A and B are shown apart, each in its own frame.
Chain A
């Protein structure tokens, strides 16, 4: 814990990780959301069509999670070594759910036991969303360390605040997924999605409202006070509220792309709010960007291959895929 100011390379990798988390949340968020909505209907045709809207994208979306993990281990091994033990059971649930959900795309057509894989797809998507949300809540509460290693129990992530943020993210991803469906589908599926957006958006606001109160209660007992050091940061929650208003306007005027776009803005605003709350900590409220960074020799080794070459390729590839498969789903994307 020697350096006080993070080096330029450390800032670069912190920015890469923050950016990759945001891209991941938005991209995998909508396909996880579609997976959650998938479980709320029994209509086989609707289910197939839902799968169809995300099948070209989902595995590319999950790539961003691997980029987060790989960059974290490479650039901030201390954070990697604290974060994963602190979330031992959630990380296990996340991995097993991602496996189940990922193979469901293929196995439901050729490996027999379709009902099992359909359940796996829905439950997997829901559990992934829940544990990610719970991790955010647990980070707001703060993660206890002793001698640079996690020192809490295995169920800190099941306290009231993490459970609230977990439910909030399930609803938030479902909202994102519903917005994706109105944007990418037509006919019955689009109408089905339209009927769910307002209710989902309302539930997100209610759950997040309760979670914010819980967060203030949880934080009041500790040092520091959410936004008290940086009042200008309140701009971002404000932006989030405006974006939610935009979602409702989109529903009223039946503009196919608007709920999705506005939900994306909402997620960006929420992410920036959290960033303002946490900065300069990577593990709230004990490990900073500067103290967690690997030596510059490690960071520059990664920079010249992964940072300067691989990341731009993946970013361009992602953009090209979304461009190629733009517009409404017709008969498959074929």
Chain B
């Protein structure tokens, strides 16, 4: 069997980036959560906030480390496996990703150290300031990634000179209409991911009546934040869909399971797409003009179907179709869990409703699943393009690569990640299981993250 370096490189990229994105989306939210809790401690002076803070700080340190080491792998993927992409669009993607590296590492080098080790060496206001800066830094870091990815989704502000794609207008690249909705969509996704993890941890403690006070703080704060953020996130999700309708007809047609042009269009809720015969089986469909209203905000608009797009420009249709529904489904679960929890709290029954605490605990992966499903929708839906309309994925791969090379590296990544991730998850699980310390410890000894974590053990 001939091994296809393009397909294997795509699988490898999907593998390393899926494992990577778990950590940044968690740490972006955690950094904001830690800054919030530290701000509350500063405002109220209550020691409970300090205990909750110290607990999540340990989780943050470990997740940040895992995010950094898996992120370094990402920085090299463009060069090793996608060298034609790196060479042709490097003048645009290089500076954007370069800025991400610079931002992330400047952050790690400065305020992150204060956060881990500076508690007793700097004044409280400066400590809080450092927490805010770390949070700001993680958001900034994601900004550059979203700039870069939004440019790959809808290239703007560029020119093509001698087959190279060069920047014309950095302003359009960094503040274009697409990144303006996609960056907040990613940030809110990160906040929700962490929020659901905080809620689940709190529910776990409260249900078992261990670390009860800390658990309640996590549960109350997590529910409040998630309940407020989720409707905003649904709005930004809708706005993100708006750019897809406008610029990426092949992706929206795949997401909607729409085979033929319709005016006005119906809306497929769920179905099994039959790609061969260009139809949906077992479909549950809302009648027209629902599809037009959702996609274009109009009762009469025509919506494009896959029929009017050449099949060589179709994405692998079933993946975005289902991942999109998984993402939306997670959003609905998050909405239900958080709003119902807030209602229970309002009725004063939150801590005693055992079955709800179970559900809140079990819903901890909802945010992670939504983030992964959302990225799969965006990235697989963009195929067969790597830079939409400009460069096809199959033309972007490193020419000297053989299928054997990529198979070797893919297996190596899978083996190493299996070892690293199982140990890392076990370590984080142990931190969560052991719970917050009863007493606030003295300054963590040692300066490095490693030493800090060891001291915190």
A60 at interface by CB-CB < 8 Å: yes
Contact with B along A44-64 (1 / 0, CB 8 A): 000000000001111110010
Q: Assess the B106–A314 pair: CB atoms within 8 A.
A: yes
Tell me the count of chain A residues lying within 8 A, CB to CB, of chain B.
71
Q: Assess the A333–B447 pair: CB atoms within 8 A.
A: yes
Q: Assess the B109–A314 pair: CB atoms within 8 A.
A: yes
Where chain A touches its partner, the secondary structure class is helix
CA distance A116 to B402 in the complex (A): 32
Complex interface: chain B residues within 8 A of A332 (CB): 445-446, 451
Complex interface: chain B residues within 8 A of A224 (CB): none
Complex interface: chain A residues within 8 A of B166 (CB): 294-295, 297-298
Q: Assess the B83–A85 pair: CB atoms within 8 A.
A: yes
Q: Assess the B87–A81 pair: CB atoms within 8 A.
A: yes
Q: Assess the A57–B101 pair: CB atoms within 8 A.
A: no
Task: Tell whether A77 pairs with B73 under 8 Å between CB atoms, given A149-B398, A334-B446.
Answer: no
CB nearest to B451 among chain A residues: A55
A105 at interface by CB-CB < 8 Å: yes
Complex interface: chain B residues within 8 A of A183 (CB): none
Complex interface: chain B residues within 8 A of A86 (CB): 400
CA distance A58 to B449 in the complex (A): 10
B450 at interface by CB-CB < 8 Å: yes
Complex interface: chain B residues within 8 A of A95 (CB): 72-73, 76
A89 at interface by CB-CB < 8 Å: yes
Which bucket holds chain B's interface residue count? 35 or more
B302 at interface by CB-CB < 8 Å: no
Where chain B touches its partner, the secondary structure class is helix
Contact with A along B165-184 (1 / 0, CB 8 A): 01110100000000000000
Contact with A along B417-457 (1 / 0, CB 8 A): 00110011011001000000000000001111111011001
* Shortest Cβ gap from B277 to chain A (Å): 41
- A170-228 contacts to B (CB < 8 Å): none
Binds A, one of B190-198, B245-253, B359-367, B405-413: B405-413
Q: Assess the B94–A75 pair: CB atoms within 8 A.
A: yes
* Shortest Cβ gap from A146 to chain B (Å): 8
Q: Assess the A154–B405 pair: CB atoms within 8 A.
A: yes
B70 at interface by CB-CB < 8 Å: yes
CB nearest to B169 among chain A residues: A297
Complex interface: chain A residues within 8 A of B62 (CB): 106
Partner-B contacts on A (CB < 8 A): 55-60, 63, 65-67, 69-71, 73-75, 77-78, 80-86, 88-89, 91-92, 95-96, 98-100, 102-103, 105-107, 109-113, 116, 148-152, 154, 294-295, 297-298, 301-302, 305-306, 310-311, 313-314, 317-318, 321, 324-325, 332-334
18 contacts between A and B (CB under 8 A): A55-B450, A80-B90, A81-B83, A85-B398, A88-B401, A95-B73, A95-B76, A99-B72, A99-B73, A103-B66, A106-B65, A110-B454, A111-B427, A294-B95, A306-B98, A306-B102, A313-B109, A325-B447
